[in-house]
Amino acid sequence: MSEYTHPLADAEFVLNELVGFDKLCAEMGHEDINSELASVILSEAGKLGSGVLAPLNKVGDLHHPTMIEKDGGPGVQQTAGFAEAYQEYMDGGWASLTGAEEFGGQNLPNVLGSAVNEIWHTSNMAFALCPLLSQGAIESISHHGSEHLQQSYLPKMLSGEWPGTMNLTEPDAGTDLAAVKTKAIPNGDHYLISGQKIFITWGDHQMTDNIVHLVLARLPDAPEGVKGISLFIVPKFNLDENGHPGERNDAFCVSLEHKLGIHGSPTCVMSFGDKGGAKGYLVGEAHKGLSYMFTMMNHARQGVGLQGLAASEASYQHALQYAKDRLQGTKKDGSRFTIMKFPDVRRMLMQMKSSTEAMRALCLVAAAEIDRGNAARSELFTPIVKGWCTELSQELTYLGTQIHGGMGFIEETGSAQFYRDARILTIYEGTTGVQALDLVGRKTLVNNGESLGALLDEIAQDLAKFDVMGGQFTLAAQQCRTALECGVAARQWLLDIAATDKDAPGSASVNFMMLFGYLCGGWLMAKSAMQAKAQLAAGEGNADFLNAKLISAQFFCEHMVVRSQACFASIQAGSDSIMSLPEDAF
Amino acid sequence: MKILVAVKRVIDYNVKVRVKADNSDVDLTNVKMAMNPFCEIAVEEAVRLKEAGVASEVIVVSIGTKACQEQIRTALALGADRGIQVELDTPADALSIAKLLKAVVQQEQPGLVILGKQSIDSDNNQTGQMLAALLDQPQATFASKVNVDGDKVQVTREIDGGLQTIELDLPAIITTDLRLNEPRYASLPNIMKAKRKPLDVKTPTELGVEVRNKITLESVNAPAQRQAGIKVKSVAELVEKLKNEAKVL
C-alpha cells in the first residue's frame, strides 16, 4: 500500500522564501491572492491527491486501458476508477486554476499551478497526464485561437468537461516535426483532416462527453518543411448548433501502445479521416502551427521537468517508509534495528531528499519567471528544468528501488513502478539530447551567452553571501564556488569553440546542461540555507523543518553540486574521442 | 432555517502525537493542525441540508485563538456561508465552551445546531450534551442519519448494540457520528469564494460569558511501549497465563 503526503511545508518554503510569492502576486496585480491562500489551495489539493488519485496509481499500473467498440468505431476504455477520479478533479474546479477569468478560469499564477501540478503528478502520474496535456491545449487555443474558437471550446476545457490532447508526432515525424504528413483540405467553414498520429497521450477515453484534439497538419498549398505546418482543432464529437457535442467526428484511436511505464495513461495511435475526413478548425493563421507549438513549449517542458520531481518524490516517500520499517540487523542485546542505521542507506535517502528539494526549488523558481514575463530567463531555465530534473529522476527512482534491496525488484512492493514510470520523462516533450542542444544553441550561442551570463552573475552575487556563512557550510560554499567557476568557464569554452569545431557544442551539450542543473540546484539550496538560518535566528518558522533544510542544503552542496566538476572535465575534453571513431568501426 | 455548526481546531489526525519533555501536555509546537474530523462531518451535513433546500444559511463557529480562523475558512470553502470566531487565548473547559456556544445560539437563533460528537484531542464527548441542557433544547447524539421534516427532525443514532431512530422538535442539537456522511473535498472556486465570505470575531465579554477552566492537567504520558509477545505451546498454557499472569480470567 503506497501512501502519499504532499510536502506542504517545503512547497510553502520555496514559494515564500525563494519565489517571493506575495511580492510576485502584488507585481501581477493579484491583490487578493497571497501565500496564505496558496497554502489553503495546496493543502486542499493535497487531500484530493492523497485521498483519490494516489490510491489509483497502482491500479492503473496493473489494469491497463483497453480497446473497445464505441460510437461506431474503435475507442479506449480507461482503467476502472479513473472516470470517478476525473469527476472529482473536475468537480473541484482544478482544471480552471490558471485559466482566464472570462472563460471561467481562476486566473491564478503559473507558479501556483505548477505547485499544484506537482501534487497530481506525484500521486498519480499516468492520471495527471490527462490534465497536463489539456493545459497545453488550453494554452494553444488561448494564445492563438480565434474568438469564436475560444468561446466554443475554452469554457468547457477550463471546467474540465472537455480535456484536450496534443497530436504532433507521426511515424516519420518525431523530433523532426517538419516531416509531418497529415493533410488538411479546405471544405467550406472547416477543413477535412486525414492522416495518422502516434504516441497520443490520453487520445481517447470515456471519462468525458467530448475531447478536443489539437492536430498539426499540412494545407495543400503549404511550403515544404517547418514553415508549412498548421494547427487545427479536431473535436471527438462535432459541436451542434447549440455548441453541444453532436455527431461523432472521423477521429479514432485505432490501437494502444504497450509501454514500459505510465500504464494507466492510454498512449494512442490516432487515425483521422478514415471515413472521408475529420472536421478540423484552423487555429490562428495557416502555416504557423509549429511556431504556435513553441509558445507553449516553456510550459509543457517545464511541466515534464516537474514530473521528474514528482516521480522522485513519490519514490522517496515510498523508500523512506520502507527504510524506517525494515528490520535488518541485530544488536548484542538481541534487539533488532532498521536499515536507517546504515550509512549507505542514509546516503541514498539524503541524495533523494536533498535532490527533490533542489528540483522543487528550481521548478517553482522557473515557473515564476513565466509569471514575471521574464522571457529570456524562463526560456533559459526550460531546458535545464526539463533536462536536468528528468535525468536526475532516473537516478533517484533507481535509488528508491535500491533502498528496498531485493524487495525493490519485486513488483508488489510498488517501488518499481516509479522507476518504470520515470523512464519516459527523459524522452517525451523533447529528449535530453534535444534539451541540451536547445540550451547550448538557441539559449546560449544565439544570444552570445548573454542570458546565461546574467544568470551566472546573479548566482555569483548570492554565493558571495553564502561564502561568509561558515560553520557547517564552509565546504558547501567552497564546492558551490568551484561549480560556479566551472559554469563560467564552460560558458566561455562554448562561445570560444563553437566557431572552430562544429561538433563541440553537441558533444558537450548534455554535460553542459547537467553542469548548470547541479549549479542551479546548489545555488537555490544555498539560498534556502541562508533563508532558513535567518528564520531560525529570528525565532520564526518550524525549527525542525528549518534545521532539516540546513542539513539537506549542506549535503546537496557537498555531494551533488561537486558533480559539476566532472561535467566540466568532460566538456573540456571536447568532441575528439566522441566523434573520431569511424562509423564503420562501431 | 439557519444551521449553526461548531468546529474545533485540533492536531491533524495524520500527525504522530508527541508528549512535551516535561510531561505537562501534548507538544503542539509547529505541529500540523486541522479541523476535527467529526466537525468536518457536521459541516458536510449542514451543507448538504442547504443544498437540499432545507437550510437557508450555514453559520460556522469556532472558539480559540486567531489560528482557528483557518478551520473556519476551511468550512467556508466546503460551503458554509459565514463564520464566527470567538476569540479565546486561554484554556477553557467544556462547560465554558458550551456556555459560549449557547450565547452565540441565542444571538443567531438557528433552527438546528450540529456539532461533532467529540474532538480527537480531548475525546470528552460533552459539549453537545451540555449545550442542549443549557439551551433546554432536545438533543440527538451520535447521529448516523438526519432527516428534517417540517418543524421536526428524525435522527438515527448509533447506540450500543444497534441503531435508534428518534424524532425531535426543532430547534434541536445534533452531534455527528462517523458514518453520517463522507465529507467532500473543497473545490477551487469555493476556496476562492471563501476568502470573501464574512467572518466576525466576538469576545467572551461581548457574549457575556465568564470563561473558566476547572480542569487541571496533571501530566500527560505517552502510552507504554508495547512489549514483545511470546508463543505458548498449548491452550492449557494460554489459559494458565491468562489466569495467573494477566489475571483477566
Chain A contact present for B77, CB below 8 A: yes
Task: Residue B187: list chain A partners with CB under 8 A.
Answer: 91-93
* Annotation marks residue A161 as catalytic: no
Q: Which domains does chain B have, with CATH numbers?
A: 2-245 (3.40.50.620)
A190-201/A251-256 β-pairing:
unpaired
Task: Residue A544: list chain B partners with CB under 8 A.
Answer: 30
Weakest mean pLDDT among A12-16, A169-173, B47-51, B80-84? A169-173
Q: Which domains does chain A have, with CATH numbers?
A: 299-328+337-577 (1.20.140.10)
pTM for this entry:
0.91
List the single residue in A with minimal CA-CA distance to B31: A542
Tell me the C-alpha distance between A95 and B194, whole Å.
19
Is residue B12 a contact partner of residue B74, using CB atoms and an 8 Å limit? no
Weakest mean pLDDT among A67-76, A211-220, A286-295, B196-205? A286-295
Tell me the C-alpha distance between A307 and A424, whole Å.
10
Query: A302 falls in which pLDDT band (50, 70, 90)?
Result: very high
Tell me the C-alpha distance between B94 and B213, whole Å.
8
Query: B223 falls in which pLDDT band (50, 70, 90)?
Result: confident
Q: From the CA of B84, how many Å to the nearest CA of chain A?
A: 19
pLDDT at A191 over 90: yes
What is the interface size between A and B, counted as CB pairs within 8 Å? 46
Q: From the CA of A44, how many Å to the nearest CA of chain B?
A: 6
Is residue A78 a contact partner of residue A266, using CB atoms and an 8 Å limit? yes
Q: Which residues of A sit within 8 Å Cβ distance of B? A: 5, 32, 37, 40-41, 44, 47-48, 51-52, 88, 91-94, 96-97, 106, 541-545
DSSP string, B169-220: ESSEEEEE-TTS--PPPPPHHHHHHHTTS-EEEE-HHHHT------------
Query: B4 falls in which pLDDT band (50, 70, 90)?
Result: very high
Mean pLDDT of A448-464: 98
Task: Residue A37: list chain B partners with CB under 8 A.
Answer: 191-192, 195
Q: Are the Cβ atoms of A94 and B14 closer than 8 angstroms? A: no
To test the contact with chain A by mutation, choose from B182, B185, B195, B227 the residue with the greatest count of A C-beta atoms within 10 A, namely: B185
pLDDT at A1 over 70: no
pLDDT tens for each residue of B130-168: 999 999 999 999 999 999 999 999 999 999 999 999 999
Read off the amino acid at residue A11: A
Q: Are the Cβ atoms of B185 and A51 closer than 8 angstroms? A: yes
* pLDDT, position B81: 97
Beta-bridge partner residues of B147: B154
Name the B residues in 167-206 with CB < 8 Å from any A CB. Answer: 185-192, 194-196
pLDDT tens for each residue of A471-500: 999 999 999 999 999 999 999 999 999 989
Radius of gyration of chain B (CA): 21
Query: A2 falls in which pLDDT band (50, 70, 90)?
Result: low
pLDDT at A161 over 60: yes
Query: A141 falls in which pLDDT band (50, 70, 90)?
Result: very high
A267-272/A251-256 β-pairing:
antiparallel
Q: Are the Cβ atoms of B189 and A41 closer than 8 angstroms? A: no
pLDDT: which is higher, B223 or A110: A110
List the single residue in A with minimal CA-CA distance to B34: A43
Is residue B45 a contact partner of residue B182, using CB atoms and an 8 Å limit? no
pLDDT tens for each residue of B11-45: 998 888 888 889 999 988 778 899 999 999 999 99
Q: Kindly give, in sequence order, each residue whose CB lies less than 8 Å from that of residue A527, ignoring residues fewer than 6 positions away.
A: A17, A18, A361, A462, A466
Is residue A293 a contact partner of residue A217, using CB atoms and an 8 Å limit? no
Query: A330 falls in which pLDDT band (50, 70, 90)?
Result: confident
Beta-bridge partner residues of A255: A269
**What are φ and ψ of residue B245, in 5° steps?**
-90, -55
Report helix, strand or coil for B56: coil
Q: Are the Cβ atoms of A544 and B30 closer than 8 angstroms? A: yes
Angle, helices A375-403 vs A504-537, to 10°: value is 80
Q: From the CA of B59, how many Å to the nearest CA of chain A?
A: 20
Ordered alpha helix ranges (H), A442-575: 450-467, 474-497, 504-537, 543-555, 563-573
* pLDDT, position A254: 97
- The interface predicted TM-score of the complex, written ipTM, equals 0.89
To test the contact with chain A by mutation, choose from B188, B196, B199, B225 the residue with the greatest count of A C-beta atoms within 10 A, namely: B188
* pLDDT, position A528: 98
* pLDDT, position A563: 98
pLDDT at A120 over 70: yes
DSSP string, A416-453: HHHHHHHGGGGTSSS-HHHHHHHHHIIIIITTTTHHHH
Q: Are the Cβ atoms of B187 and A92 closer than 8 angstroms? A: yes
**What are φ and ψ of residue B58, in 5° steps?**
-115, 120
In SS3 terms, A135-179 reads as HHHHHHHHHHCCHHHHHHHHHHHHCCCCCEEEECCECCECCCHHH
Residue tagged active-site, from A429, A450, A558, A583: A429
Read off the amino acid at residue A550: L
Chain A contact present for B14, CB below 8 A: yes
Q: From the CA of A109, how many Å to the nearest CA of chain B?
A: 14
pLDDT at B214 over 80: yes
Peptide bond into B171 cis (omega under 30): yes
Q: In whole numbers, what is the pLDDT of chain B averaged over residues?
A: 94
Choose among A585, A579, A444: nearest CA to A507: A579
Q: From the CA of B128, how many Å to the nearest CA of chain A?
A: 28
pLDDT tens for each residue of B68-79: 999 999 999 999
